[in-house]
Amino acid sequence: MGNRTLFRSLCMCQLLFCFLLLPCSSQTTSQVASRAFSLEQVLSSPFPTNLVRAEKADRIAWVFSTKGARNVWVADAPTFEARQVTHYVGDDGMPIAALKLTPDGRTVVYARGSEANSAGEIADPTSGVEKRIQQVWAADVDNGEPRLLGEMGCGEEDCEDIQISPNGEFAV
């Protein structure tokens, strides 16, 4: 993806932000009030993070959180029409981090679950009885079925970094 396309996407996001959140001076108070958001709407609005791109393909991927359900999405040039790759349901407190695309863009690789804190414990926002672990997952972009690659193996904070081999066959 070229710098021009990325710049265009950022400009569109800025325009959307201005349209939704910043009232124009020509609008009346009643017009602005009719567009008011509830706290529930603001807190449950979809939120994209972790934007990445494939090195040798015109594809981008990101994590989209909708009402707490975190999923991986992709889009391809030139239209960049978004499509969902993973289909996790509900707010289970399991973040998706360290998102990567293989160089050819055919597979997404990511860590699912919280990293360990300084005491070596992994947070469980749901207060479940089962011990949480951070795992590395991969999903083919075309069929979206995630497959477990293994545990992340992070015994400390800030160590979640997945490396993809240049040919895209291995993740470490």
Q: What is the pLDDT of residues 72-121, one digit of tens each?
A: 999 999 999 999 999 999 888 888 989 999 999 999 999 998 777 777 77
In sequence order, the β-bridge partners of residue 73 are 62, 84
What tens digit of pLDDT does each residue of 8-64 get?
554 444 444 444 444 444 555 555 556 677 887 777 788 899 999 999 999 999 999
Q: Are 100 and 133 in contact (CB under 8 A)?
A: no
pLDDT confidence of residue 94: 85
Residue 162 pLDDT class (50, 70, 90 cuts): confident
pLDDT confidence of residue 20: 47
Q: How is the beta sheet containing 83-84 ordered, strand by strand?
A: 47-53, 59-66, 69-76, 83-84
Q: How far out from the chain centre does Cα 159 lie? A: 18
Whole-number Å distance between alpha carbons of 125 and 102: 31
pLDDT confidence of residue 59: 96
The conformation of residue 115, written as its DSSP 8-state character, comes to P
Which regions of 35-106 does DSSP assign to beta strands (E)?
A: 47-53, 59-66, 69-76, 83-84, 96-101
Q: SS3 for 67?
A: coil
pTM of the entire structure?
A: 0.72
Rg (CA), the chain: 19
pLDDT confidence of residue 17: 46
Amino acid letter, 38: S
**Cα distance between the two ends of the chain:** 25
Per DSSP bridges, beta strands 146-151 and 135-140 are antiparallel
pLDDT confidence of residue 159: 62
pLDDT for 138 beyond 80: yes
- Helical residues (DSSP H) of the chain, grouped into ranges: 3-21, 29-34, 39-43
Residue 167 pLDDT class (50, 70, 90 cuts): confident
pLDDT confidence of residue 80: 94
